[in-house]
């Protein structure tokens, strides 16, 4: 386990935490209401990309310097903040105080527009940024320049096996209120970027089922209808081996490991979303004869139907695609530019 301490005075700034993979929706902005916590208690994740201010516009940076920073297509601005910021849950932070002059936000809380807004309570050095404004996942980002990881003698969270992950709760695509899950929208959008890059510009054939429901509308709209084609199938723990051109595989939520499919191309998908696609148990109960016993729907109600068609998160898609070297291919760059400029005015974007 790790405790993050102040680089200036060595004061403890977190409870003991274990590292997990950075959630795919970490930088998603969604809706106009406060969102839940990004991180589970007693966990942390590291963002390898630069983040936070200062920012430089694309016109100042230029394509060559942007590529050196891992961005291969134009975006509004690039962060020149530090790489390696550390995400932790708000409730796991200790020994910090707000910096009043940096407590700006857009609406209901704080955002990151002014840089770190939390200081070490012991020495006063700025150490982290608290984000809890509406539209953002609630999180504290520790500044890697201002904190140090310290190994502590505490029981570490054991990494689950792939088989054990199958027993974990799936993430349903629809919220209890009937809205599509923002995590699903972000996760599928990021996976779509990788899937298009793996397609090579060829039509992707998707078998009927949950995978088709999530991906086929976008694939059919963005890729040509004529041959050649490439096949897409799920591959992962608990599924029989299959022959396919592109495998949709789970990514371990703790280690970040991608299931070794052995296929030519593998597209990672967050494990709890992948598990739902592969083993969805959200089927309406229909008895072979007669009626259901009293209380079945009361105690285990099915999910409500979605309130509208599934929509992809345009910003998450563009963010992921801009960081794939394949976007430099002319056909994919044209697609990126069309989506970015909204020329691809398709009903599944928001």
Report the pLDDT value the prediction gives residue 283, as an integer from 0 to 100: 45
What domains are defined for the chain?
A: 2-48+84-151 (2.170.150), 162-285+294-340 (no CATH)
CB 43 within 8 A of CB 20: yes
Q: Report pLDDT for 191.
A: 97
Pairing of strands 229-234, 203-205: parallel
| DSSP-assigned beta bridge partners for residue 12 | 5
The string over 203-224, giving b where at least 16 C-beta atoms fall within 10 Å of a residue's C-beta and e elsewhere, is: bbbbeeeebeebbbbbbeebbe
Answer left, alpha or beta for residue 84, where phi above 0 means left and psi between -120 and 50 means alpha: left
**3-state SS, one letter per residue, for the chain:** CEEEEECCCCCECECCEEECCCCCCCCCECCCCCCCECCCCCEEEEECCCCCCCEEEHHHHCHHHHHHCCCCCCCCEEECCCCCEEEECHHHECCEEECHHHCCCCCCCCCCCCCCCEEECCCCCEEEEEECCCCECEEEEECCCCEEEEECCCCCCCCCCHHHHCCCCCCCCECCCCCECHHHHHHHHHHHHHHHHHHCCCEEECCCCHHHHHHHHHHHHHCCCCCCEEEEEECCCCCCCCCCCEEEEEECCCCCCECCCCCCEEEEEEHHHHHHHHHCCCCCCCCCCCCCCCCHHHHCCCCCCCCCCCCECHHHHHHHHHCCHHHHCHHHHHHHHHHHCCCCCCCCEC
Task: For strands 43-47 and 147-151, give the pairing.
Answer: unpaired
pLDDT of 48 reads 96
d(CA 92, CA 84): 19
Q: Please give the backbone phi and psi of residue 174, each rounded to the nearest 5 degrees, phi first.
A: -120, 135
Is the Cβ–Cβ distance between 142 and 85 less than 8 Å? yes
From the number of C-beta atoms within 10 Å of its C-beta (0-12, 13-18, 19+), residue 273 rates as buried
What are the pLDDT digits (tens) for 295-345?
Answer: 666 666 666 677 778 889 999 999 999 999 999 999 999 999 999 988 766
What's residue 286's pLDDT?
Answer: 43
What does the pLDDT read at residue 288?
Answer: 46
**How are beta strands 139-142 and 85-88 bridged, if at all?**
antiparallel
The pLDDT averaged over each successive group of 10 residues in the chain (350 residues) is 98 97 94 92 97 92 95 96 96 97 82 89 97 94 98 89 87 83 94 97 91 91 90 93 93 94 90 90 46 64 73 94 98 95 70
**Distance between CA atoms of residues 279 and 85, nearest Å:** 35
pLDDT of residue 327: 98
Please provide the size of the chain in residues: 350
């Amino acid at each position: 386990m790790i405790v993050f301490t102040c680089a200036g005075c060595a004061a403890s700034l977190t409870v003991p935490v274990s590292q997990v993979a950075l959630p795919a929706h970490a930088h998603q902005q969604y809706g106009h209401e406060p969102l839940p916590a990004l991180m589970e208690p007693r966990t942390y994740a590291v963002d390898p990309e630069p983040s936070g201010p200062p920012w430089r516009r694309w016109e100042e940076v230029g394509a060559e310097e942007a590529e050196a920073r891992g961005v291969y297509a134009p975006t509004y601005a690039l962060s020149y903040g530090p790489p390696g910021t550390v995400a932790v849950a708000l409730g796991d932070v200790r020994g910090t105080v707000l910096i009043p002059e940096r407590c700006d936000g857009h609406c209901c809380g704080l955002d990151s527009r002014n840089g770190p807004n939390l200081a070490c309570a012991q020495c006063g050095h700025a150490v982290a940024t608290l984000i809890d404004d509406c539209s953002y996942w609630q999180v504290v980002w520790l500044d890697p320049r201002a904190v140090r990881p310290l190994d502590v003698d505490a029981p570490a969270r054991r990494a689950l096996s792939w088989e054990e992950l199958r027993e974990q709760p799936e993430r349903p695509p629809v919220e209890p209120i009937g809205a599509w899950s923002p995590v699903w929208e972000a996760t599928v959008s990021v996976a779509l970027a990788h899937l298009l890059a793996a397609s090579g510009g060829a039509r992707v054939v998707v078998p009927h089922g949950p995978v088709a429901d999530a991906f086929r509308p976008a694939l059919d709209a963005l890729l040509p209808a004529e041959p050649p084609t490439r096949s897409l199938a799920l591959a992962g723990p608990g599924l029989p081996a299959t022959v396919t051109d592109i495998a949709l595989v789970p990514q371990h939520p703790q280690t970040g490991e991608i299931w070794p499919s052995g296929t030519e191309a593998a597209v990672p998908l967050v494990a709890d979303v992948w598990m739902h696609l592969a083993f969805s148990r959200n089927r309406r109960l229909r008895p072979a004869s007669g009626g259901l016993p009293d209380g079945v729907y009361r105690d285990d109600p099915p999910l409500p139907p979605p309130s509208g068609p599934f929509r992809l998160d345009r910003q998450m898609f563009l963010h992921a695609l801009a960081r794939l070297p394949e976007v430099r291919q002319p056909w994919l760059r044209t697609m990126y530019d069309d989506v970015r400029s909204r020329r691809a005015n398709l009903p599944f974007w928001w």
